[in-house]
Homo-oligomer: A and B are copies of this chain.
Amino acid sequence: MSIEVIFGKVLRNIREDKKLSQEQLAHLSELDRTYISLLERGKRRPTINTLIALCKPLGLKPSEFLGEIEKELY
């Protein structure tokens, strides 16, 4: 599975765990609502800056987020 699809699945899992809507996460991370949707569906490859912006309101470290992705990669 591609990196971006795995990224999207991890993002969705974490977001739903935190009981946040895409709209709420978009507002908190200062990103667009439709862009969060694109990311979760594996349609975009975020920059590390975007990753860090997303992690802040989700309450976990970027390294922890990537750790989740690595579980699927290797």
Contacts and interface: CB of A to CB of B under 8 A. Distances in A.
Contact of A45 (B4, B48, B67): B48
Q: Which of the four size classes fits the interface of chain A? A: 10 to 19
A62 B51 contact: no
Interface of A: 3-4, 7, 45-49, 51-52, 61-64, 66-67, 69-70, 73
A63 B52 contact: no
Contacts of A48: 3-4, 7, 45-48, 51, 66, 69
A73 B63 CA distance: 12
Nearest to A51: B48
A33 to B, nearest CB: 21
